[in-house]
Chains A and B, each alone.
Chain A
């Protein structure tokens, strides 16, 4: 075996090694993309069967920093917390579309909504909502405000809202918006007027 063949063999071995790493990387990327797509699909899926009901959503727009009121038809479960969750999933579904004016983290979902007494809702979101949310004072404020006023618009008894990430209290959403506090719908209402 000549020296040239040895050299060629070594080069080929290196190329093969590099291609193996690249193939592994691509495989992981495809699996990740498929998982994200499945999660997004799941976020849009209705929770129950039945006739669609019109609900009010406050949709944020990053380009002009506004919240716009819109109505969509959603199939709502009879139970109050499940209805609130379905409304928020419809809101997240709008944000998860590729053409969304206010994209949030891919795979974001609402795990549960709990009611404390009659007027306080605790919204438990999944980890993707907090981990992949775009960072920024206005971007995060728009998300929080749209959640609070959308809940209040569809269930006027909900006057206070607390947001959890994966069952836990977090200091901020993505570095800015305070998630340690309860948000009063009446206070957010003033912000929404400023943002409209």
Chain B
């Protein structure tokens, strides 16, 4: 072969090799970074709580983040060293259990025993992801309890949490279909002509019999159960407009025919009949009583990571873990608490305020974290005092001004609890959004490392102390905070 021909072949070989190398790298990057749409999430049901875990699409295969999966079930401490991923999971009242994987490899260890994944472990943005199909087995090994994954439906059941429903058709006039549940449920209900759809997002409802039950009834045609996208649905179809009513404290939902629309010209209603204790007439539904709800707002989320506490530890993750601890500690004290976000989603500041005000909580707590300073800072809004009535219309930009006294009392109570636990703390005013827009007593808590060691900010012991202080502070001041009618 002539020399020029050999050189030409050599050049082509090198070019082709390099092209293949870059193509492989680009394909791999594209595959890992292709984010699934927002609906792609796993719903996890455990005896303690229900929560959502966003799924990552890697080359067409769903992956779940280990921290997001395990954090609501206990304390989690995850570290990355190069491509090695090590996670310590401590179940409540248990001892730390170790999970080890290596990015790009399918072999790892769970509780010291070798474990082979069906596909490679993925490290992305400082987080470790495992294929969805192994989530139930990993949780089973860590918790020692059974876990069942409904993979196609994106639902994971831990322990015996599954709740079944019963169907009972009463052929009255009109017919009534009674859906019975073992515990109270609160599905979202959508109606359209000849159809009622009940959507269960938080309840671990599963089918106990055939998923499609037809009826030969003049009103109710059938019931169809389905589960998908991390939720369950009961679809009741009929021959006329249907409506759903709750009964038995939410344990029963009655589906029946919707009343015909009233005629345009209505006669005056008859005067109310005198009360007859021997034959009580149906009473109108009593309005719901006041309730005490604390709304916890873990700051940031999604693309907004907040402060970079360390290169691999964003503020959004620290505060979400702390928020779950605060919620748990409040529940231990008999106080109902909700989270504005329970997964890694982005919420704008205006949305946070709007959703909070719509929920009418008795107290709003925003949680933040920083890698500067030391200890815990408790903030109330920096607003001039204003003579506003909490019951009246409030200006959006200064809604918090009507609650400054109560907010200050809560901040003082939380600070006292921090002090009693010997945690460095300070109470300050802050120009922090969206506090000014909150129409309820409101505080913000920012945690910094306890003694200058930044890694300590994510330690379970430190966060638990802070969470206990916040919950104890709220419990101590509860009597002074007005309950709110939902």
- A172, B370: Cα distance in complex, Å: 16
> Which B residues between 13 and 40 are near A, CB-CB below 8 angstroms?
13-14, 17-18, 21
Judging by beta carbons under 8 Å apart, are B307 and A191 in contact?
no
Judging by beta carbons under 8 Å apart, are A141 and B17 in contact?
no
Contact for A137 among B18, B21, B374, B377, CB less than 8 A: B377
* CB nearest neighbor in A for B304: A175
- A135, B384: Cα distance in complex, Å: 25
Stretch with Cβ within 8 A of B (4 or more), from A77-85, A86-94, A119-127, A181-189: A181-189
What band does the interface of chain A fall in when counting residues whose beta carbon is under 8 Å from B?
Answer: 35 or more
* CB nearest neighbor in A for B7: A1
- A6, B149: Cα distance in complex, Å: 52
How far in angstroms is the closest Cβ of chain B from A50? 36
Judged by a CB distance under 8 angstroms, whether B247 is at the interface is no
Residues of chain B with a CB closer than 8 A to A62's CB: 372-373
Chain B 413-455 per-residue mask, 1 if CB under 8 angstroms from chain A, else 0: 0000000000000111111110010000000101010000000
Contact for B431 among A17, A177, A194, CB less than 8 A: A177
- A9, B12: Cα distance in complex, Å: 13
- A181, B24: Cα distance in complex, Å: 51
> Which B residues between 318 and 375 are near A, CB-CB below 8 angstroms?
349, 368, 370-374
- A136, B306: Cα distance in complex, Å: 8
* CB nearest neighbor in A for B446: A137
Judged by a CB distance under 8 angstroms, whether A195 is at the interface is yes
- A180, B429: Cα distance in complex, Å: 17
Which secondary structure dominates where chain B touches chain A? mixed
Judged by a CB distance under 8 angstroms, whether A65 is at the interface is yes
With contact pairs A9-B10, A176-B368 given, residues A191 and B373 touching in the complex (Cβ less than 8 Å): no
How far in angstroms is the closest Cβ of chain A from B350? 9
How far in angstroms is the closest Cβ of chain B from A49? 37
Residues of chain A with a CB closer than 8 A to B370's CB: 135-139
Judging by beta carbons under 8 Å apart, are A17 and B18 in contact?
yes
Judged by a CB distance under 8 angstroms, whether B379 is at the interface is yes
Judged by a CB distance under 8 angstroms, whether A38 is at the interface is no
How far in angstroms is the closest Cβ of chain B from A17? 7
Judging by beta carbons under 8 Å apart, are A138 and B300 in contact?
no
With contact pairs A141-B430, A141-B431 given, residues A134 and B307 touching in the complex (Cβ less than 8 Å): yes
Of A9, A63, A176, most B-chain CB atoms within 10 Å: A176
Judged by a CB distance under 8 angstroms, whether B233 is at the interface is no
- A195, B373: Cα distance in complex, Å: 13
- Number of A-B residue pairs having CB atoms within 8 Å of each other in the complex: 102
* CB nearest neighbor in A for B377: A138
> Which B residues between 368 and 392 are near A, CB-CB below 8 angstroms?
368, 370-374, 377, 379, 382-384
Judged by a CB distance under 8 angstroms, whether A53 is at the interface is no
Judged by a CB distance under 8 angstroms, whether A171 is at the interface is yes
- A174, B432: Cα distance in complex, Å: 11
* CB nearest neighbor in B for A13: B14
Chain A 1-39 per-residue mask, 1 if CB under 8 angstroms from chain B, else 0: 100001001100110010000000000000000000000
Chain A 128-159 per-residue mask, 1 if CB under 8 angstroms from chain B, else 0: 00000011111101001000000000000000
Judged by a CB distance under 8 angstroms, whether A98 is at the interface is no
- A175, B299: Cα distance in complex, Å: 9
Judged by a CB distance under 8 angstroms, whether B317 is at the interface is no
Residues of chain B with a CB closer than 8 A to A184's CB: 384
Residues of chain B with a CB closer than 8 A to A180's CB: 433
- A84, B307: Cα distance in complex, Å: 31
Of A13, A17, A65, A195, most B-chain CB atoms within 10 Å: A65
How far in angstroms is the closest Cβ of chain B from A137? 4
* CB nearest neighbor in B for A6: B10
Judging by beta carbons under 8 Å apart, are B17 and A137 in contact?
no
Judged by a CB distance under 8 angstroms, whether A178 is at the interface is yes
How far in angstroms is the closest Cβ of chain B from A81? 24
Judged by a CB distance under 8 angstroms, whether B95 is at the interface is no
Judged by a CB distance under 8 angstroms, whether A190 is at the interface is yes
Residues of chain A with a CB closer than 8 A to B384's CB: 184, 187
Judged by a CB distance under 8 angstroms, whether B285 is at the interface is no
Judged by a CB distance under 8 angstroms, whether B203 is at the interface is no
- A9, B17: Cα distance in complex, Å: 12
With contact pairs A134-B307, A136-B370 given, residues A183 and B431 touching in the complex (Cβ less than 8 Å): yes
- A64, B374: Cα distance in complex, Å: 7
Judging by beta carbons under 8 Å apart, are A181 and B18 in contact?
no
> Which B residues between 220 and 242 are near A, CB-CB below 8 angstroms?
none
Judging by beta carbons under 8 Å apart, are A136 and B431 in contact?
no
Residues of chain B with a CB closer than 8 A to A64's CB: 373-374
Residues of chain A with a CB closer than 8 A to B426's CB: 65, 194
**Interface residue ranges, B against A (CB under 8 Å):** 6, 10, 13-14, 17-18, 21, 299-300, 304, 306-308, 315, 349, 368, 370-374, 377, 379, 382-384, 397, 426-433, 436, 444, 446, 448
Shortest 9 CB-CB distances between A and B: which pairs?
A: A136-B370, A135-B307, A62-B372, A178-B431, A137-B446, A178-B433, A137-B368, A139-B372, A65-B373
